[in-house]
Amino acid sequence: MELLSRPAFAAGSPGQDAAVLNFALNLEYLEAEYYIRGFTGRGIDDQGSNSVDVTGSGTLGGVTIKTNPQVTFTTQAFSDYAAEIAADELAHVKYLRSALLNAGVQPVARPALDLYNSFNAAAAAAGLGASFDPFANEVNFLIGAFIFEDVGVSAYKGGAKLITNKTYLEAAAGILGTEAYHASLIRTLLYSLGSVTQDAAQKISDLRDAVDGPTDDDQGVVLDGHANIVPTDANGIVYGRTTQQVLNIVYLNAAGTPGGFFPAGLNGSIH
């Protein structure tokens, strides 16, 4: 049985921790490239002394993106938020690569990422129009971020039970907390901006629900007519996703075949 078809690994399976960390690293490459390119206009491997090595196992891919993606922020607070999240995501990439290397495991290379056609496809599928440019303005940038942040939180929540090493588990819990702060901020801002962004968030949520499987867990920023900043179950617990559900969302198809934000698939054994 291929790893991508398993809802979870059996506890203690060989290479499990490394596989999960490399799976997470693929997702962190995506988030880091989105935020850093939106804030600086340059990639994570072009940040001077703060650059990240993106080589490793698997095929090193480029990033498909519009020319000059740097967002023109007109609200200082939004610019500050983007700068902080970009720094966090860059740090996550560095940390995961370091943790893997320290364990004697080769980190995966940055796979091919598409931050152009993917958003157009997602917009069309979600009913937001034929195209969508998340780098056109600061509000679009927040809407684009909403696609990733909730997925990141649910991915780390679902992946926690797959990690056997307590040191890695603690680190994953810490990253989950960071991603949850990010997601809560993005959700709060989208709710506060009014009905247009609330509706966009709901359509994105519906799209995620449509491709990630038969469950109906995903939630927009409005629920029963009220603010829904933290998407939780009846016990007030944030839900998690299996690796397969995460793949379906980032590939933008229910079959879980490469496409969407990862046109050539993820690197590593969970792909």
Burial of residue 165 (number of CB atoms within 10 Å: 0-12, 13-18, 19+): middle
Q: What is the pLDDT of residue 96?
A: 95
pLDDT at 1 over 60: no
CA-based Rg of the chain, rounded to a whole angstrom?
A: 17
Which segments of 50-165 does DSSP mark as H helices, in order? 76-102, 117-126, 138-159
Q: What is the pLDDT of residue 167?
A: 85
Distance in angstroms (rounded) separating the CA atoms of residues 81 and 77: 6
Per-residue pLDDT, averaged over 253-267, amounts to 96
Cα–Cα distances in angstroms (integers) from residue 133 to residues 5, 65, 66, 207, in the given order: 32, 10, 9, 17
Helices (H) and strands (E) in the chain, counts: 7, 4
Give me the sign of the Cα torsion angle 60, 17, 33, 53: negative
Q: What is the pLDDT of residue 46?
A: 96
Please give the sequence-ordered ranges of beta strands (E in DSSP) within the chain, or none if there are none.
63-64, 113-114, 222-223, 226-227
CB 52 within 8 A of CB 45: yes
**Taking all residues of the chain, what is their mean pLDDT, rounded to a whole number?**
92
pLDDT at 14 over 80: no
pLDDT digits (tens, 9 = 90+) for 126-141: 999 999 999 999 999 9
CB 146 within 8 A of CB 187: yes
CB 17 within 8 A of CB 165: yes
Per-residue pLDDT, averaged over 238-245, amounts to 92
* φ/ψ of residue 189, rounded to 5: -65, -45
Q: How far is CA 147 from the centre of its chain?
A: 7
pLDDT digits (tens, 9 = 90+) for 141-181: 999 999 989 999 999 999 988 999 888 898 899 999 999 99
Helix (H, G, I), strand (E, B) or coil at 146: helix
Q: What is the pLDDT of residue 27?
A: 97
pLDDT digits (tens, 9 = 90+) for 33-91: 999 999 999 999 999 999 999 999 999 999 999 999 999 999 999 999 999 999 999 99
pLDDT at 204 over 90: yes
Residues above pLDDT 70, as percent of the chain: 95
Q: What is the pLDDT of residue 13?
A: 55
The gap between the terminal CA atoms of the chain, to the nearest Å, is 13
Distance in angstroms (rounded) separating the CA atoms of residues 74 and 203: 26
Cα–Cα distances in angstroms (integers) from residue 49 to residues 6, 33, 45, 124, in the given order: 40, 17, 10, 39
One-letter amino acid identity for 7?
P
